[in-house]
Amino acid sequence: MQHLSTLDYWVIAGYFLLTAIIGFSATRRKASSDELFLAGRSLGPIAVGVSLFASNISSDTLVGLPGAAYSTGISAANYEWMAGIVLIFASIFVMPVLLRAKVSTMPELMERRFDARLRKYLSVITLFLSIVLDTAGTLYAGGLIVTTFLPMFDLWSVCITIAFFTAIYTACGGLRAVVYTDVMQGFVLLAGAACLSFIVFGKFDYSWANVVQQVDAHKLSLIRPLDDPGVPWLGLVTGVPIVGFYYWTMNQYVIQRVLGARDIETASRGAVIASLLKLLPIFLMTIPGAMASVLLPGLEHPDQVFPAMVSTFTPAGITGLILAGLIAALMSTVSATLNSAATLITLDFVQPKKPHLSPTQLAWTGRIATMIIALIAALWAPMIQHFSGLWAYLQQVFAFVASPLVAVFLMGLWVKRLGASAALRGLACGHALSAVLFVLRETEIITLHFTIMGGVLCVATALLTAFWMWKLGTADVPDAQGREILADARPGLAHIPRDVAVGIALVLGLTTTILIVLR
């Protein structure tokens, strides 16, 4: 392993200093709950778009995507380009609902459409996934990366230090600090990944023909056969869009950026920007990982490929930039999950119990919640190393948990007769079925790929919800407020700004071209 040079340390230190300046500059705003959680609903399209992208590209992604490409090929990038399609769908049909409703959390929208039971249901699930999977998992992955480059530090101290530093600027600056630092971190991340990709491509004399000749053909293919262990084509058209829809429209720490946009048009433009950026990981992360299967054969574990590429190929200074990019991605995700979890606790649990609290008091409640959540996640993160099989199934867990939620949410947008009791019972039945299928799959009684199971669960939950809707009949119908949410979901393509339409066409055109070339 190449040791960091003095220049690398200066690059990393400069990054931390700039992050602190940008993060704490956001504290000069008025301390209110709306400012802390939604940046005063004043974010512009670039801030929304780049922040959406940066918060999604975590240390898990920077390590996991090249690792997956190294072992099974670039089909792992299907989650990336599919995100662009999901974001376009959301910009047309979902974001207008959110912005017109003036909600602060996704569970709040569920209460508007149904009742408080659905709000609490979604809040609890989101909080659990946010703290135990998103925040702690990212801290753990980031801790492993940092200790690889800086072996003098142990995993516990790295996790606690990063969590503490991130929690401080997130608690002080709120969503505005998260988004502002996201923009900077997004550019640092792209610069570091682009440098590494350029260097690795140079090992093939900058010739795509040489890459195709030397790398196994199946590792350069996005569309894989039905029996593929990575992402089979049927799972690509069923389960992957469902997981993507949950992540980009129902996951609080992602959708919070959209809720902070100044208006519907701004949110739509931000979604298009994020869609374009989501095409970059194919070229900056997965293809270099596939190339590394030729350049660095025989690695003990595929997750070693990214650190190995950095230590083997990058010169002094660039190594520091890439490590800063890794830390940037880690902190971007952690800050986002901390702020969103604090938002859920404050607005979905504390405020309903104590409606007399002022906006300033709610803001301080959110800050305290941020610090507590960071502590819990930091203490839990190192324990993940004792569950070696658990985190290999991360995408599976999301598929099993998200599919019933997506089914009920989409039905809530377009099925006007769906009431709260039918939705709750359908959701409970769907998650019960998810638990059964998860156990059957883990015990290998059923071997169906989890992405395909995600599609099956979504359809099954929709049918179960329809059954309860039929059984309860007119005794369970939405009220006037719920019908307003329905009405907002119907405009569709009629109100897309011209520049957004051009952006959507560009995303679809580029995606189609990539799929044709790398099919």
User: For residue 73, what is the DSSP state?
Assistant: -
pLDDT of residue 488: 66
Higher pLDDT, 102 or 58: 102
Q: What are phi and psi of 476, to 5 degrees?
A: -140, 90
pLDDT in tens, 220-253: 999 988 888 778 899 899 989 998 999 888 887 7
Q: What is the pLDDT of residue 24?
A: 64
Q: Which two tokens stand for residue 215?
A: 């790398």
Q: What is the pLDDT confidence band of residue 385, given thresholds at 50, 70 and 90?
A: low
pLDDT at position 388 is 44
Bridge partner residues of 232 (DSSP): 224
What mean pLDDT do residues 17-41 have? 58
* pLDDT grade for 490, boundaries at 50, 70 and 90: low
Most confident of 161-165, 326-330, 410-414: 410-414
Domain ranges of the chain: 6-386, 390-488
Amino acid at 194: A
For the cut 90, the answer to whether the pLDDT of residue 115 exceeds it is no
Residue 460 has pLDDT above 90, yes or no: yes
The topology (CATH level 3) of 6-386 is Sodium/glucose cotransporter (1.20.1730)
User: According to DSSP H, which parts of 203-263 are helical?
Assistant: 208-214, 233-237, 239-245, 252-259
| β partners of residue 43 | 261
DSSP secondary structure letters along 124-172: HHHHHIIIIIIIHHHHHHHHHHHHHH-TTS-HHHHHHHHHHHHHHHHHH
Interatomic CA distance for residues 39 and 26, integer angstroms: 9
Helix 264-277 to helix 252-259 angle (10° resolution) is 130
Residue 261: strand pairing partners? 43
Residue 115, number of CB atoms within 10 A of its CB: 18
pLDDT of residue 389: 41
Residue 510 has pLDDT above 90, yes or no: yes
pLDDT at site 391: 44
Two tokens, residue 249: 């429209």
Query: Percentage of residues in the chain with pLDDT exceeding 70?
Result: 87
Q: Do 92 and 476 meet the contact criterion of CB atoms below 8 Å apart? A: no
Q: Give the per-residue pLDDT at 35.
A: 47
